[in-house]
Structure 1
């Protein structure tokens, strides 16, 4: 067992179907992963084998102790239009967004894989939010090829194919994994 904690935040898009693979890859690299899904991601997790992996849903109750150790790094795979914009704006109205906002403020290593089609990626809030997150040190990873210097929106109907071809090392290599 390791003492390095990785929060794996996942949003509701086809790439969420690969969380099980991400958990396995993280463990192979010595991370102790915790999955923090948005409500929209839950259906994508239903058929995955996440037995033995803490999947944290909802805020903790008043007086309830912390459910996780402090994160050493965060991977956001995928981050959708809604979550990415809320995160960059500092909107902390869900458990995953609260965690993301706190991680950004703490300046721990973060890698995010945006997943948005052309129409949403063409909205000015998307470009502004990406700029804010990059400014704060978030590694933005293109889901098509792992590039951190460019980001291509998804073409309609290609989400499953793009998700299938994602390599988790594109994300984990950015988090100072030994």
Structure 2
């Protein structure tokens, strides 16, 4: 049986540095993981990209394939976008797709691909009213947004609820944790 494919997307925020552990945890739970990064996140992890590609068995992507190039990833069964920065959450909710990760995440809504996100924002950004508007918009479009007491809180900016996020992705696929 082919394992389900998890697209793990990340923006440039401190929890991104845990991505190898997250990939390993997802793989231990039976996922085939494909890692996609915003362009800034890819710069943050530049020295680790080859190792992350070996770990996942897929190229790490931060850009679309060129016209005529074959897609190198299997189709997504679920997308987990974490960490998702203030800029990423707002761009996504507004349908702005300046890069590969946001473009695929936006298409996922239209294609009905189950999607989970965990915003990772500063306390100042958390108080900006556009963040709540964007969270509401994404939720109304079917995205599971883990934000609040049981998920990410700005007071713990380096703590990402990875176990909760992976469980939510599994639940979105199977209906069971």
Q: Does the alignment reach a TM-score above 0.5?
A: yes
Q: What's the TM-score bracket when you normalise by the shorter of the two chains?
A: 0.7 to 0.9
**C-alpha RMSD of matched pairs (Å):** 2.1
- The size of the alignment, in residue pairs, is 167
Deviation, structure 1 residue 59: 1.4
TM-score between the two structures when normalised by the length of structure 1: 0.84
Structure 1: runs of 5 or more not aligned: none
**Bigger proportion of residues as helix:** 2
- In structure 1, distance between residues paired with 2:148 and 2:69: 37
Are 1:77 and 2:82 matched, yes or no?
Answer: yes
- In structure 2, distance between residues paired with 1:11 and 1:107: 22
Give yes or no for contact 1:73–1:108 (8 Å, CA) kept in 2.
Answer: yes
Who is 1:26 aligned against? 26
Structure 2: runs of 5 or more not aligned: none
Gap change, CA 1:26 and 1:139, over 3 Å in 2? same
Give yes or no for contact 1:107–1:136 (8 Å, CA) kept in 2.
Answer: no
Are 1:103 and 2:103 matched, yes or no?
Answer: no
Gap change, CA 1:61 and 1:114, over 3 Å in 2? same
2:157 to 140, 156, 159: 159
TM-score between the two structures when normalised by the length of structure 2: 0.84
- In structure 2, distance between residues paired with 1:143 and 1:68: 32
Q: Secondary structure at the match of 2:118?
A: strand
